[in-house]
């Protein structure tokens, strides 16, 4: 008996099809989501009066839905019923590649582009849940031990959500790749890996006596890769 | 005698004025350019048929002009005469900030958003110069020692330029900042710094005997901060 199982994937059309270097394109949930969940920072594109904006923000994912902090949401999300078309992108820059000709200079990277329509989270209970996960996705269980948010704070925080309608991941991981005949040239070539690490945690200088670092920050150890800490925290938060 | 000297700055209007947390906004060339020149990766936003795209790419700056690699330029830059409205953003994520309430959770960061109209570099001599600087901005003088680009390679590489018409930098560097009354609570709070480092360079395994690493890669030493290497290389390239 043979069973064909197809991995869940995002639909592909002219918006998200990887055109340039299509061999680097991926559309399956697993690849796209792993790139997203390894990151805290994304860039979101949206349009106001024909002018595109590219805004950096912290974000997180739930299933095929993305959430982010709604800075400047007032001018961004005017059309609440249909949502505003948006594109949220995460990129990990993994190396710089110095080849034997200009054309083959490159970089290793992993990026995910997600397309959909951005909307404000307006329903009060869903907003409270989203505000909890905005913290707990990064620091599992942390909100339960925090000073509760005031009504004013909740009001002042806009949360945006977007169902991922289309998405693509693009991965280059092959390092140096010169033209075959160029390897015979007396030219130096190399790859320099890049990694983002956590530094030594800096506890607040005004901690009360006996207050200690909890399990919510367990993933965040000095010297660890940021993306490993974020993946571990994500897995714990959505266990 | 008093002389008023005003630092060069980008004009401010409703497009680039920092609205949310305007105390974090900067418009002077020096601040904006330093954030740009410390980075290799940017995200560019542009619009096709009402759909915003957020595309990661390597880029560099010359004076108040930005250049980047024109992937998907064919569909992006249809209007060559007026250019396409674009926004190029660079973000350095410097820390994660865990506060005593959800609302004061934050991050330290430095970002620069640049607005203008993107156009293809079409003039042949200017294109060759741009292709040289696409490599030499990162690795000063490197192109002179490389295998010369073929006509086909030059043709296959689209270079985009954009004069920065408006720009804003946004910087948060204050670390932990709880409400004064919250410091009396028995809640753990800290800041975790984030830094991107260069790993050990990986020389090509097929280097010819006697071929050594040159001065063009001098800034790229293992264990160094990526942004420091990029700033040093930039200063050498545009000395």
| ipTM of the prediction | 0.94
Do B18 and A75 form a contact (C-beta atoms < 8 A)? no
At B91 the three-state DSSP class reads strand
Is residue B100 a contact partner of residue A211, using CB atoms and an 8 Å limit? Answer: no
Could you give phi then psi for residue B212, rounded to 5 degrees? -120, 160
Q: What is the reported pLDDT for A233?
A: 98
Pair of tokens at residue B99: 């506060």
Q: Residues B167-219: pLDDT tens digits?
A: 999 999 999 999 999 999 999 999 999 999 999 999 999 999 999 999 999 99
**pLDDT bucket at A81, cuts 50 / 70 / 90:** low
Query: How near does any CA of chain B get to the CA of A1, in Å?
Result: 44
Taking Cα atoms as reference points, which of A168, A183, A134 lies closest to residue A154?
A134
Token pair for B217: 């890669």
Closest residue on chain A to B75 (Cα)? A19
Interface test with A, best of B52, B180, B210 (most A CBs within 10 A): B52
* A37 pLDDT above the threshold of 90: yes
Q: How many Å apart are CA B172 and CA A54, to the nearest integer?
A: 18
Contact A208 B40 (CB under 8 A): no
What pLDDT, on a 0 to 100 scale, did the predictor assign at position B77?
62
Nearest to B202 among A15, A191, A208 (CB): A191
CATH of domain B22-195: 2.30.110.10
| pLDDT for res B48 | 87
Partners of residue A88 in chain B, C-beta under 8 Å? 54
Question: Across the interface, do B211 and A187 touch by the CB < 8 Å criterion?
Answer: yes
- A234 pLDDT above the threshold of 70: yes
Whether B78 shows a pLDDT value over 50: the answer reads yes
Q: What is the band of A21 on the pLDDT scale with cuts at 50, 70, 90?
A: confident
Q: How far is CA B40 from CA B59, B83, B138, B142, B162, in A?
A: 6, 24, 8, 16, 16
> Which class for B210: exposed (0-12), middle (13-18), buried (19 or more C-beta within 10 A)?
exposed
Cβ <8 Å between B93 and A188: no
**CB-based contact A207 B196, cutoff 8 Å:** no
Query: Best of B204, B209, B224 to disrupt the A interface by mutation (most A CBs within 10 Å)?
Result: B204
- The percentage of residues in chain B with a pLDDT greater than 70, rounded to a whole number, is 93
Tokens representing residue A39 in the block: 């990151």
Tens digits of residue pLDDT in B82-108: 789 999 999 999 999 999 999 999 999
CA distance B156 to chain A (A): 9
Classify A82 as helix, strand or coil: coil
CA-nearest of A180, A160, A146 to A71 is A160
**Which of A115, A196, A212 faces B196 most closely, judged by CB atoms?**
A196
pLDDT confidence of A72, banded at 50, 70, 90?
very low
Residues of B in contact with A135 (CB under 8 A): 102, 105
- For helices A29-37 and A226-237, the axis angle rounded to 10 degrees is 110
For domain A22-203+211-237, give the CATH number. Answer: 2.30.110.10
What is the pLDDT, as a whole number, of residue A146?
Answer: 98
In this prediction, residue A219 has a pLDDT band, given cuts at 50, 70 and 90, of very high
Distance CA A168, CA B114 (A): 25
Closest residue in chain B to residue A191, using alpha carbons only: B202
Opening angle at CA B59, ends A193 and B112, nearest 5: 100
**8 Å CB contact of A199 and B196:** no
| Pair type for strands B190-198 and B84-98 | antiparallel
Q: How far apart are CA B110 and CA B93, in angstroms?
A: 7
- B72, B102, B217 member nearest A146 (Cβ): B102
With beta carbons less than 8 A apart as the criterion, state whether A107 and B230 touch.
no
Contacts A–B by Cβ distance under 8 A: 266
More reliable by pLDDT, B42 or A69: B42
**Max Cα–Cα distance, chain B, nearest Å:** 69
**Which among A83, A41, A89, A218 has a CA at the least distance from the CA of A142?**
A218
């Amino acid at each position: 008996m043979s069973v064909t199982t197809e991995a869940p994937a995002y639909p592909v059309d002219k918006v998200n099809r990887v055109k340039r270097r299509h061999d680097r394109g991926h559309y399956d949930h697993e690849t796209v989501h792993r790139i997203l969940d390894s990151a805290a920072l994304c860039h979101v594109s949206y349009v106001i009066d024909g002018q595109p904006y590219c805004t950096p923000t912290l974000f997180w994912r739930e299933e095929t839905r993305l959430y982010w902090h709604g800075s400047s949401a007032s001018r961004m999300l005017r059309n609440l019923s249909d949502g505003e078309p948006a594109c949220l992108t995460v990129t990990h820059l993994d190396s710089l590649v110095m080849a034997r000709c200009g054309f083959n200079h490159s970089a290793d990277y992993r990026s995910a582009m997600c397309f959909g329509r951005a909307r404000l989270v307006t329903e009060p209970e869903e907003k409270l849940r989203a505000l909890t996960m905005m913290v707990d996705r990064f620091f599992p269980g942390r909100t339960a031990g925090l000073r509760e948010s005031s009504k004013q704070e909740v009001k002042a925080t806009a949360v945006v959500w977007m169902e991922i309608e289309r998405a693509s991941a693009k991965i280059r991981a092959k390092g140096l790749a010169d033209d075959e005949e160029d390897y015979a040239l007396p030219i130096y070539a190399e790859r320099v890996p890049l990694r983002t690490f956590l530094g030594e945690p800096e506890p607040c200088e005004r901690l009360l006596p006996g207050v200690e670092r909890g399990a919510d920050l367990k993933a965040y150890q000095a010297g660890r890769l940021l993306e490993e800490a974020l993946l571990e925290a994500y897995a714990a938060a959505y266990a």
